[in-house]
Structure 1
Amino acid sequence: MNMTHYMELLAVNQPWNLLLFMAVPVILAETVAITELYLLYTRNYASPVRTVNRAAGIAGGVYFTGVFLYLMTTAVIPLTGSGGWRGPADVLAVGFYLAGIVPLLGIALVDLGLVAKDRDEHGRMAVHAGLVALFLVVAHVAMIFGMMDPTLLTGAAAGGHGMH
């Protein structure tokens, strides 16, 4: 069976790529999501939980910006230029994975006070929660397409050729 570039990235150089490209961003995002539930329920925005939430949000946004830039320059641009994509599922998996930059950087910008600064703390947390939800959607769509045979959506038999 063929593998998407997304899954290949996670499978090679074990365990480092899995840790760097999946575990770190997901653990930071899940820390934000879990602490977010507590904060929205209690509205205790002066608690140590908010400090953890803010630190994980900023770290996640900054970290994933580095991942995004690295993968764009070392994978996406070269694959696009050479016609090396393995099929539509391949492009969708990588595209949705990289789309995580929007919510993760957005969370960091909210936490740094650069976005939604005209809102009160609860209003900023509402924006924050929406961005967390968006990250969960794009990350799961990336995982679903990433686990597919990349040729599946082409109508070609497995073992098909690159997408030109």
Structure 2
Amino acid sequence: MMEMTHYMQLLADNQPWNLLIFMAIPVILAETIAVSELYILFTRDLKGRVRAINKIAGITVGFYFLIVFFYLLFKAVIPITLAGEWRTIIDVIAVGFYLLGVVPLFGISLLELGLIPNLKKEESKLQLHATFVAIFLIVAHIAMIFGMLSPALLGGHSSMPM
């Protein structure tokens, strides 16, 4: 029997709602930012429709994921930690890196709202924006990779079969 991480269990439970809320919405918004970011970086079109979509997606995803972060922190991470129910370091890495996505995503929102000071040049904003996108892609993929691993690889266990 295969075992699953809390990350995968969250996505598998309450179908299709958890998958939509915790994966589809943030990923669709983040991918919209990533693809539009490439267009903006290549064309330098800082005033067009693609830039407007990029900005709206950037503001939305940061605040959306901030809500997800606090929800999961109080409804999952703290209770799992207090109960000692982590399913090996694989589980901790999967959940931890998923939640770490709040840093670059909320950073994008703050940048879009002009709340990150000392960025007067548009070029500096573009560089930081692209850096936040890259950081999010890295942490999200680490979360997904570890989330799909079985905690049983390191002796962990779960009451939920995969």
Per-residue deviation, residues 110-136 of structure 1 (Å, max 9, x unmatched): 000011553322220110000000000
Equivalent residues in 2 for 1:1-164, closer than 5 Å:
1-152=2-153, 154=154, 156=155, 159=157
AA of the residue aligned to 2:67:
G
Contact 1:117-1:124 at 8 Å conserved across structures: no
Equivalent-residue separation in structure 1 for 2:102 and 2:158 (angstroms): 30
Please provide the CA RMSD for this pair.
Answer: 1.4
Gaps of 5+ in 2: none
AA of the residue aligned to 1:63:
Y
Equivalent-residue separation in structure 1 for 2:126 and 2:99 (angstroms): 24
Deviation, 1:30, is 0.4
AA of the residue aligned to 2:16:
P
Q: Matched residue pairs, number?
A: 158
State the SS of the aligned residue for 2:151. coil
Equivalent-residue separation in structure 1 for 2:142 and 2:9 (angstroms): 17
Per-residue deviation, residues 5-26 of structure 1 (Å, max 9, x unmatched): 0000000111000000000000
Contact 2:94-2:142 at 8 Å conserved across structures: yes
* TM-score relative to the length of structure 1: 0.92
Equivalent-residue separation in structure 1 for 2:130 and 2:158 (angstroms): 41
Contact 1:43-1:122 at 8 Å conserved across structures: no
Equivalent-residue separation in structure 1 for 2:144 and 2:52 (angstroms): 30
**116 and 151 in structure 1: CA distance in 2 versus 1, 3 angstrom threshold:** farther
Contact 1:29-1:60 at 8 Å conserved across structures: yes
Contact 2:151-2:157 at 8 Å conserved across structures: no
Q: State the percentage of identical aligned residues.
A: 57
* Structure showing greater relative contact order (alpha-carbon pairs closer than 8 Å, 6 or more residues apart): 2
AA of the residue aligned to 2:124:
G
Q: Which moved more, 1:50-59 or 1:112-121?
A: 112-121
Equivalent-residue separation in structure 1 for 2:95 and 2:137 (angstroms): 15
Gaps of 5+ in 1: none
Equivalent-residue separation in structure 1 for 2:6 and 2:88 (angstroms): 10
Q: Which moved more, 1:64-73 or 1:108-117?
A: 108-117
